[in-house]
Homo-oligomer: A and B are copies of this chain.
Amino acid sequence: MAIKNVKEQIIKAATKEFLASGLEGARMQAIADKAGINKALLHYYFESKEKLYFIVLKAQFSDMIAGLLQTFGSEEDFEPWLKHLIRTVLKEITSRPHFSRFMLWELNAQKKQLPRLFQELLKERMQGSFMQKIQAKLDQTAAAAYPAEQFLLNVLSLCIYPGLARPLLEQVLGKELFASKDFITAREEDIFQLIKYGILERKRAEI
């Protein structure tokens, strides 16, 4: 049976197309081409563009959330936990080069449906309060009472933005930078140090 194979190929192709071009920008013909089939067969398996779109999206959300939430809640001391966290976010982001870009764009364009879908999946996967866990981790350290929201913003910003703005930054910083293999590992270490010293040492200095 070639069924599942083709369905899988369609989803794969559709994922690429939707993440690269959004719902409006995506072309059903392009999806069919990428999947190596024709439009008629595409509609034989999937009713409409919208249906296919939400199937793709749900899968993407789930994958992403799964990897992240697990790491956020892991039972480690602060420093190894932070390192682990940074590495995971960087890995999840770089392994899905178009996902965050897509999210930021599409969450604004399709403002009714996507936030709801996202919210549902978050609730489904998240047991207990997520922010409280982060706060608890912080409270084990010299940075006790440092707000978990700021912490989360810092980690996400530092990990996600560079990959997001890569095409832009390459114009300013030069094409070579991001291409270098060491860059991500160097970046990983730098983010760790920045947050460690930026939060812990600041608190120590304040006392």
Contacts and interface: CB of A to CB of B under 8 A. Distances in A.
Interface in A97-126: 98, 101, 103-105, 107-109, 111, 115, 118-119, 122
B195 A194 contact: yes
Report how many copies the assembly holds: 2
Contacts of A104: 101, 104-105, 164-165, 168
B201 A150 contact: no
Given A165-B104, A171-B115, A109 B21 contact: yes
Contact of A198 (B22, B195, B205): B195
A105 B105 contact: yes
Contacts of A144: none
Query: Which bucket holds chain A's interface residue count?
Result: 35 or more
Interface in A172-207: 172-173, 177, 186-187, 190, 193-199, 201-202, 205
Nearest to A198: B198
Interface in A2-33: 20-22, 24-25
Contacts of A103: 168
Given A104-B165, A104-B168, A157-B161, A201 B197 contact: yes
A36 interface: no
A107 B194 contact: no
A130 interface: yes
Contacts of A198: 193-199, 201
A149 interface: yes
Interface in A134-154: 149-150, 152-154
A169 B105 CA distance: 14
18 contacts: A21-B109, A101-B108, A115-B167, A122-B171, A150-B186, A150-B187, A152-B173, A153-B161, A153-B169, A153-B187, A157-B158, A160-B161, A161-B161, A161-B164, A164-B164, A195-B198, A197-B202, A201-B201
